[in-house]
Amino acid sequence: MRTENALKYTIDTILTVALGYKIDCDVYNYSEKNIEIVLENENINFLICETDDFQELLEGKLNLSSVSAFDNYSKIPVVKMNGEENLYKRSESKITINFDLISLPFILLSGLDEYLSEERDEYDRFPYENSICKKYDLAKLPLTDEYAMLLRKIIQVECPDIDIRPRSFTITPTHDIDDIYRFTGPFKAVKSILGQLVNTGNIREVLLAFRFLIQCFSDKRKDPYFKGIEKLLEDSRANGLKSVFFFMAGNSSAFDSGYDIYDENLKEVFRKIDASGMTSGIHPGFYTFRDIDVLNEQIRRVTGATEKRITHSRQHYLRFDRRKTFENLEEAGIQTDYTMGFAEEEGFKCGTSHEFHPYDLKNDRPYKIKEKPLIAMDVTLSMYKKYSVSDANKILETLSERIKRTGGDFIILWHNAYVYREVEFYNKVYLEFLKKSI
């Protein structure tokens, strides 16, 4: 599992975060206990836990130690090697890192725990409960980025000639457009509104829904889901942010609305997105994550509707097969994916908030496709975790602080369906987050 290629990939990814740019390094020595690289004429030796300990680590059974973060913000978990207390030691020939900064990031970045597991939830997703994030309580900690900052600190002291270009914190709002209209007929409209009343008991929002319904009789563009798309675009523009909108193009199913991607009203939306310098991507349907033929057909439809090359993607329901989906997306021409997050838990599924190349465990090489990991989404906060407005604000602030310290990108997902259906959450959580964080 931890081949030389895999370890070299992990070091490359950590170094890219540490330095702020991609830099070439060569492997000087590799064994079961270490991997030594040459970086700008400096030898850096990374100690790694042995195979038995790595297996225990993967199973969540290895006891971890802790050290202070690079800025003493908190304690972070580490695998200490040979009982060493100092982060590193310097000799005439090399720098030796005394903690294993490679094995945990490799598991997180490659999704090795997910790749090896047969556990799936009702939607055929790898559950948070079975993840290494849960086993070591890592979800709220960008561990890969924290390790990168420790390495940056060492390089600043010991290798002052190596250029460091710290990245700035960014926010990227993303929006899965699961449906473009809420009210497509009298029966569906009444069922939707009554369901909302039963589920939330929020009379004010139910009355707002009735008002939208009446307006829709004369103009479908006044439908709350359609207006939600425009509202998301306007609010990103007002806050100087560039959203990515993911549109569906699948046939109707129990999990896919099957809306018409060629709908006349969407043409103006595509134009506005393009004029604002934002991005239209694809939200591949429920049954695409293992089926490249269905995926290709849906990409073809979105390409035709937007008249743009489609290179950005996020899977519907976050359904993903680490053994197949990246391969299919890459073959279909997708360049950047945004799926890597847990539906039921906000935070850092991959241990990072930085863009990275996922790892092809079958072929022992990085994929060409890039991943922008999902940090938080609306339904996680309001439905899965059932946070209050106050608690949701606190968790977003905590995650934001941790990303700012490491110069990452906060990828947040807000659906157009939850702009006018959860108005308080939209205004007091999402919009407040955008305003506070820029």
Q: How far apart are CA 291 and CA 111, in angstroms?
A: 20
Question: Cα-atom radius of gyration of the chain, to the nearest Å?
Answer: 23
Residue-level pLDDT at 216: 77
For residue 422, give the 3-state DSSP assignment: coil
The DSSP H or E segment spanning 203 is: helix 203-216
Distance separating alpha carbons of residues 399 and 347, to the nearest angstrom: 7
What is the pLDDT tens value at each position of the chain, 438 positions in all? 899 999 999 999 999 999 999 999 999 999 999 999 999 999 999 999 999 999 999 999 999 999 999 999 999 999 999 888 899 999 989 999 999 999 999 999 999 999 999 999 999 999 999 999 999 999 999 999 999 999 999 999 999 999 999 999 999 999 999 999 987 766 566 666 666 655 666 777 766 766 766 777 667 898 999 999 999 999 999 999 999 999 999 999 999 999 999 999 999 999 999 999 999 999 999 999 999 999 999 999 999 999 999 999 999 999 999 999 999 999 999 999 999 999 999 999 999 999 999 999 999 999 999 999 999 999 999 999 999 999 999 999 999 999 999 999 999 999 999 999 889 999 999 999 999 866
Distance CA 173, CA 170 (A): 10
Burial per residue of 347-361, b for 16 or more beta-carbon CB atoms within 10 angstroms, e otherwise: bbbbbbbbbbbbbbb
Enumerate the domain spans of the chain. Answer: 4-158, 170-182+223-339+374-437
pTM over 0.75: yes
| CA 102 to the chain's CA centroid | 21
Tens-digit pLDDT profile for residues 4-56: 999 999 999 999 999 999 999 999 999 999 999 999 999 999 999 999 999 99
Give start and end residues of each alpha helix (H) in 59-202: 103-110, 112-116, 132-135, 143-158, 186-200
pLDDT value, residue 196: 63
Range 170-182+223-339+374-437 classified under CATH 3.40.50.970: no
CA distance 20 to 17: 5
What are the structure tokens assigned to 234, written together?
């306007």
CA 411 vs CA 200, 339, 368, 378, 425: distances in Å = 27, 10, 20, 12, 18
Give, in order, the Cα–Cα distances in Å from 266 to each of 171, 223, 231, 247. Answer: 25, 13, 14, 10
